[in-house]
């Protein structure tokens, strides 16, 4: 078990207060956000001029700050999403400055607030009430909710026009699973029209209405890298911006003469402002790291609201003056007993990968995949020799960035160096790079992860090659299972957290919009591709396990249901593996008579869904991780303490 000093360190790290989902009020005079400075997540409202903030909630908002918040049109209330113990079957509630809390939209399934009408009467929400995620209009005066769309595939990014007469959204009616189109409809959902933004097979989406309602800011990746477009609704013409970098548009400035985007460069994300008339782009003057615009980023006096973080600095809330290129910190991150100097910086590097690591070259019968430069981040713990944690990201539509990672820094504090890999399929490098993972889960992207790990072991002599573990959550949990089972010689232990194990079971039991937008888009359906679903399921390879594996899963997870862990556990038992913290002397299920290289451990996390930002639940997870890694591979620092 962890010693007292270790326990204090991990609890102090997990307890660092975190700000989440800042958004400016309609008049730009207030900022709402979640903050857990009391030890529990609460809704706070800040005056950006005075710097003073007050807490509006008292335990009514969710402990887990997963979902965003939105202001009412009059700025008197804040809407938030409330679920049951992390199950994400949200309803929409409202809280005012007096602390009065009331339900606003209650429906079966998951409810997501998309937009608040400027008339103060209408909420545009998405819901899985009838199965698939579709759009609904909720009238605040009457309390009535009307269904607006009825598509077989999920509807996303619903936006009400300034006058409330129209709505824009994105969905897919094409035969191509990869396709996403921008639609325009009347406010009641009638007369839907595909605007034809982008080519078939590409992904386009509406982002923001112009202030006069005559233009739409849209995104599109037809040209590979995501770009921004201003769509003129009177002429049906689009003016395109960008193309040199992957850029995600965020929204127009209030005058409509400029718009904001986030530009990805290697593993950094930087804010950019475009001039609509000239097309000129200006990157805001901030240190390299990750800058994220707030939900509604408009403050008074030509200022924008954003958060900024680096690998060693926790997120600060900033007000950036677009006229002077100066910024002030509205809410400074807390560090408790730590300082930025206590945290490890990220070394960014690339590694050439053909999707087949050296440990598998002889066993692979097919030709190597296309050779690519794969980006990676390495955090050096400073221990010599240092054990290594390979930490693939989730998603898989995501990427690791030069931002502060609490789990990363926790592992570093415990003496583990950490490797993160932006394998093929990750975001930040365009449509083609993302699509390389389609129909190939458990293929080249897993080879990229293993190749990067081999590269670090070959080039960093200070890494202990006998103390290498893999740890990941969600799709990263799928990767952890896959790495342990397909590259067993590479790892000495693994932790699979809320990971996928049986792809057909995942398809049948996940939420409807994850079924169509994650499983079908990436793999087709089990009926169409039964062999692929079978071959790329980790549960089919449990006999390859040869090192200790820790399986962790939240019982209320609706994205990756707990059945994924339970099925894998049953398969391990069927092959003769023994559950428990210590090796039980069981024999190898492969029949070679040798003791199994490591039995497995299993933990279901109650009152938790698909991960959690709640401090108590983070402390629990940190303790479980620390105990497992300490016992199974340890560090020189831990050995010295013992």
Query: Where residue 359 falls among pLDDT bands split at 50, 70, 90?
Result: confident
| Residue 171 DSSP SS3 | strand
Task: Please check whether residue 253 is in contact with residue 259, taking contact to mean a CB–CB distance below 8 angstroms.
Answer: yes
Dist. CA 549–CA 559, nearest whole Å: 22
Task: Please check whether residue 604 is in contact with residue 595, taking contact to mean a CB–CB distance below 8 angstroms.
Answer: no
Burial (CB count within 10 angstroms: exposed 0-12, middle 13-18, buried 19+), residue 160: buried
Dist. CA 185–CA 194, nearest whole Å: 9
Q: Could you report the per-residue pLDDT of 233-247, keeping only the tens digit for each?
A: 999 999 999 999 999
Instruction: Give 340-367 as a DSSP string.
Output: GGGSPPEEEEEEEE-S--GGGGGG--SP
Helix orientation angle between 406-413 and 4-14, rounded to the nearest 10 degrees: 160
Dist. CA 80–CA 188, nearest whole Å: 24
- Checking if the pLDDT of 267 tops 80, the result is yes
Q: What is the pLDDT of residue 5?
A: 78
Q: What is the pLDDT of residue 586?
A: 41
User: Three-class SS string for 3-45?
Assistant: CHHHHHHHHHHHCCCCEEEEEECCCCCCEEEEECCCCCCEEEE
Query: Where residue 361 falls among pLDDT bands split at 50, 70, 90?
Result: low
What average pLDDT does this structure show over 576-581? 92
Query: Where residue 365 falls among pLDDT bands split at 50, 70, 90?
Result: low
What average pLDDT does this structure show over 439-466? 97
**The pairing of beta strand 549-554 with beta strand 493-497:** parallel
Neighbour-count burial for 458-468, b at 16+ CB within 10 Å, e otherwise: eebeebbbebb
Q: Could you report the per-residue pLDDT of 406-430, keeping only the tens digit for each?
A: 999 999 999 999 999 999 999 999 9
Q: What is the pLDDT of residue 596?
A: 40
User: CA torsion sign, 261 to 264 to 267 to 271?
Assistant: negative
Least confident of 361-365, 396-400, 444-448, 513-517: 361-365
- Cis, bond preceding 415 (omega within 30 deg of 0): no
Residues paired with 249 in a beta bridge = 261
Host H or E run for residue 486: helix 475-486
What average pLDDT does this structure show over 589-606? 66
Q: What is the DSSP letter of 215?
A: E
Dist. CA 375–CA 307, nearest whole Å: 24
Q: What is the pLDDT of residue 147?
A: 98
| Residue 546 DSSP SS3 | coil
Dist. CA 178–CA 186, nearest whole Å: 26
Residue 2 CB coordination number (10 Å): 19
Nearest to residue 632, comparing CAs of 593, 603, 597, 604?
597
Burial (CB count within 10 angstroms: exposed 0-12, middle 13-18, buried 19+), residue 529: middle
What average pLDDT does this structure show over 300-316? 97
Q: What is the pLDDT of residue 194?
A: 98
Neighbour-count burial for 189-223, b at 16+ CB within 10 Å, e otherwise: beebeebebbeebbbbbbbbbbeeeebbbbbbbbe
Residues 6+ apart with CB under 8 A from 214: 232, 233, 234
Dist. CA 434–CA 372, nearest whole Å: 13
Burial (CB count within 10 angstroms: exposed 0-12, middle 13-18, buried 19+), residue 363: exposed
Task: Please check whether residue 181 is in contact with residue 173, taking contact to mean a CB–CB distance below 8 angstroms.
Answer: yes
Dist. CA 126–CA 156, nearest whole Å: 8
What average pLDDT does this structure show over 109-119? 97
Residue 5 CB coordination number (10 Å): 9
Dihedrals phi, psi of 607, to nearest 5 degrees: 60, 30
What average pLDDT does this structure show over 186-209? 97
Q: What is the pLDDT of residue 584?
A: 42
Q: What is the pLDDT of residue 364?
A: 57
Dist. CA 151–CA 520, nearest whole Å: 15
Residues 6+ apart with CB under 8 A from 83: 62, 89, 90, 91, 609
Dist. CA 184–CA 167, nearest whole Å: 6
Q: Could you report the per-residue pLDDT of 398-408, keeping only the tens digit for each?
A: 999 999 999 99
- Checking if the pLDDT of 642 tops 60, the result is no
Dist. CA 183–CA 519, nearest whole Å: 23
Nearest to residue 439, comparing CAs of 524, 356, 538, 353?
524
Dist. CA 444–CA 430, nearest whole Å: 17
Instruction: List C-alpha distances in Å: 128 to 108, 223, 395, 474.
Output: 7, 32, 21, 21
Q: What is the pLDDT of residue 7?
A: 82
What average pLDDT does this structure show over 491-510? 98
- CA 111 from chain center: how many Å? 19
- Cis, bond preceding 396 (omega within 30 deg of 0): yes
* 330 Rama class: left (phi>0) / alpha (psi -120 to 50) / beta: alpha
Task: Please check whether residue 56 is in contact with residue 95, taking contact to mean a CB–CB distance below 8 angstroms.
Answer: yes
Please state the pTM of the whole predicted model: 0.95
- Checking if the pLDDT of 44 tops 50, the result is yes
% residues pLDDT > 90 (the chain) = 92
Residue 358 CB coordination number (10 Å): 13
Q: Could you report the per-residue pLDDT of 606-623, keeping only the tens digit for each?
A: 999 999 999 999 999 999
Nearest to residue 147, comparing CAs of 167, 124, 113?
124
What average pLDDT does this structure show over 253-273? 97
Q: What is the end-to-end Cα distance of the chain in Å, rounded?
A: 11
Dist. CA 393–CA 409, nearest whole Å: 15
Q: What is the pLDDT of residue 635?
A: 72
Q: What is the pLDDT of residue 581?
A: 84
């Amino acid at each position: 078990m962890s010693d007292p000093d270790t326990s204090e360190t991990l609890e102090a790290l997990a307890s660092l207060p975190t700000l989440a989902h800042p958004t400016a009020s309609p008049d730009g005079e207030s900022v709402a956000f979640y903050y857990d400075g009391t030890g529990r997540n609460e809704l706070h409202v800040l005056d950006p001029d005075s710097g003073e903030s007050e807490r509006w909630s008292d335990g009514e908002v969710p402990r887990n700050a997963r979902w965003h918040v939105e202001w009412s049109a009059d700025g008197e209330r804040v809407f938030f999403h409330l679920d049951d113990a992390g199950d994400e079957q949200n309803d929409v509630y409202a809280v005012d400055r007096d602390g009065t809390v009331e339900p606003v939209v209650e429906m079966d399934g998951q409810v997501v607030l998309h937009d608040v009408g400027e008339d103060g009467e209408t909420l545009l929400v998405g819901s899985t009430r009838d199965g698939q995620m579709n759009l609904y209009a909720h009238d605040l005066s009457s309390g009535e909710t009307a269904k607006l769309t009825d598509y077989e595939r999920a509807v996303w990014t619903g936006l009400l026009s300034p006058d409330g007469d129209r709505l824009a959204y994105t969905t897919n009616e094409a035969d191509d699973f990869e396709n996403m189109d921008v639609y325009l409809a009347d406010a009641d959902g009638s007369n839907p029209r595909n605007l034809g933004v982008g080519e078939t097979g590409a992904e386009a989406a509406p982002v923001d209405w112009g202030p006069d309602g005559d233009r739409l800011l849209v995104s599109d990746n037809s040209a590979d890298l995501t770009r921004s477009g201003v769509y003129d609704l009177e002429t049906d013409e689009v003016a395109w911006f960008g193309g040199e970098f992957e850029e995600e548009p965020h929204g127009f400035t209030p005058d409509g003469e400029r718009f904001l985007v986030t530009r990805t460069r290697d593993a950094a994300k930087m804010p950019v402002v475009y001039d609509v008339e000239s097309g000129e782009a200006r990157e805001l003057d901030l240190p390299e790291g990750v800058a994220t615009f707030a939900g509604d980023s408009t403050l008074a006096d030509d200022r924008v609201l954003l958060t900024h973080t680096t690998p060693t600095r926790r997120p600060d809330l900033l007000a950036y003056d677009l006229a002077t290129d100066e910024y002030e910190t509205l809410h400074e991150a807390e560090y408790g007993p730590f300082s930025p100097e206590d945290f490890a910086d990220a070394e960014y590097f690339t590694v050439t990968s053909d999707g087949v690591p050296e440990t598998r070259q002889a066993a692979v019968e097919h030709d190597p995949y296309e050779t690519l430069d794969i980006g990676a981040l390495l955090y050096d713990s400073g221990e010599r020799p240092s054990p290594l944690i390979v930490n693939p990201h989730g998603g898989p539509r995501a990427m690791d960035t030069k931002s502060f990672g609490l789990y990363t820094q926790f592992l570093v504090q415990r003496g583990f160096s950490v490797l993160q890999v932006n394998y093929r399929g990750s975001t930040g490098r365009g449509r083609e790079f993302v699509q390389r993972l389609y129909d190939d889960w458990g293929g080249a992207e897993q080879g990229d992860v293993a190749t990067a790990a081999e590269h670090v072991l070959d080039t960093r002599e200070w890494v202990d090659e006998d103390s290498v573990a893999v740890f990941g959550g969600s799709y990263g949990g799928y990767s952890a299972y896959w790495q342990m089972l397909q590259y067993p010689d590479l790892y000495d232990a693994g932790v699979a957290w809320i990971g996928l194990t049986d792809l057909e079971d995942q398809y049948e039991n996940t939420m409807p919009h994850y079924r169509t937008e994650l499983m079908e888009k990436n793999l087709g359906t089990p009926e169409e591709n039964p062999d692929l679903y079978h071959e790329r399921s980790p549960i089919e390879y449990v006999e390859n396990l040869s090192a200790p594996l820790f399986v962790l899963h939240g019982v209320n997870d609706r994205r990756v249901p707990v059945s994924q862990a339970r099925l894998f556990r049953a398969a391990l038992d069927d092959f003769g593996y023994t559950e428990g913290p210590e090796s039980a002397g069981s024999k190898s299920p492969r029949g070679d008579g040798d003791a199994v290289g490591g039995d497995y451990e299993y933990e279901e996390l109650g009152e938790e869904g698909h991960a959690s930002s709640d401090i108590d639940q983070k402390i629990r997870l940190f303790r479980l991780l620390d105990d497992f890694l300490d016992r199974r591979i340890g560090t020189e620092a831990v050995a010295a303490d013992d």
